[in-house]
């Protein structure tokens, strides 16, 4: 859950973006933004729509999809492809860069940060004389179900 002061900042960023781009500032768009920023999880558009309908929000599927596109454009959410057919999203304002481990056997997504990745980013910037604005790193794997005892018994 995001602090009320932080959500005010996010709401102002969104409001300014809508105004600057000649887009309507509707209660539905702000309800979608709030729903996203109240969540701690990654989400897909359909699950967000169903959740909002179950909580008696009056939003159409098209409004949710269109708002997601606007939120991507103003960098308030990030899009991920975790190896299934659905795009997944997460809030991105106030959140540091992080990477993901996708467990293909359980569909679990684990977020992590490692300072060595930041060092690699800095090296890439120096070598190629560029500024890296963001990056994505995904590791795909499965849970190891064997215990260390079972592994050493095989040796």
Beta-carbon contacts of 142 under 8 Å, excluding residues fewer than 6 positions away, are 103, 104, 105, 106
Q: Phi/psi of residue 119, each to 5°?
A: -65, -40
Q: Do 58 and 10 belong to one domain?
A: yes
pLDDT at 81: 77
**Structural domain containing residue 139:** 97-155
Token pair of 139, please? 């590791």
Task: Summarize the confidence of residues 141-151 as an average pLDDT.
Answer: 70
Select the more confidently predicted residue: 3 or 44: 44
Q: Phi/psi of residue 137, each to 5°?
A: -135, 125
Of 95, 127, 144, which one is at a domain's C-terminal end? 95
Q: Do 46 and 13 belong to one domain?
A: yes
pLDDT tens per residue across span 75-121: 899 888 776 778 889 888 766 667 878 888 888 878 777 888 888 98
pLDDT at 82: 72
Signed CA dihedral, 71, 76, 80, 85: sign only: negative
Q: Do 115 and 72 belong to one domain?
A: no
Beta-carbon contacts of 69 under 8 Å, excluding residues fewer than 6 positions away, are none
Q: Report the CATH number at residue 80.
A: 1.10.10.10
| Contact assessment for residue 125 and residue 135, using Cβ atoms and an 8 Å cutoff | no
Confidence of residue 60 (pLDDT cuts 50, 70, 90): very high
| Residue 64 burial (CB count, 10 A) | 22
pLDDT at 95: 65
Signed CA dihedral, 117, 123, 127, 133: sign only: positive
Of 95, 111, 137, which one is at a domain's C-terminal end? 95
| Rounded CA separation 127/70 (Å) | 34
Say how many domains are in the chain.
Answer: 2
| Rounded CA separation 116/119 (Å) | 5
pLDDT at 48: 95
Of 62, 78, 95, which one is at a domain's C-terminal end? 95
Kindly list the distances between the CA atom of residue 16 and the CA atoms of 11, 19, 21, 26, 154, in Å, as whole numbers in the listed order: 9, 5, 9, 13, 62
| Contact assessment for residue 6 and residue 94, using Cβ atoms and an 8 Å cutoff | yes
């Amino acid at each position: 859950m995001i602090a009320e002061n932080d959500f005010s900042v996010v709401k102002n960023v969104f409001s300014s973006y809508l105004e600057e781009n000649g887009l309507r500032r509707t209660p539905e768009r702000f309800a979608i933004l709030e729903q996203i920023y109240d969540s701690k999880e990654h989400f897909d558009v359909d699950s967000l729509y169903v959740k909002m309908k179950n909580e008696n929000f009056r939003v159409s599927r098209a409004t949710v999809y269109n708002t997601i596109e606007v939120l991507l454009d103003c960098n308030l959410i990030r899009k991920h492809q975790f190896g299934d057919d659905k795009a997944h999203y997460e809030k991105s304002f106030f959140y540091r860069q992080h990477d993901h481990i996708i467990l293909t056997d359980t569909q679990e997504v684990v977020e992590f940060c490692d300072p060595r990745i930041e060092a690699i980013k800095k090296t890439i910037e120096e070598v190629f004389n560029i500024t890296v604005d963001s990056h994505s790193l995904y590791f795909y794997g499965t849970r190891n179900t064997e215990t260390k005892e079972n592994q050493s018994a095989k040796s």
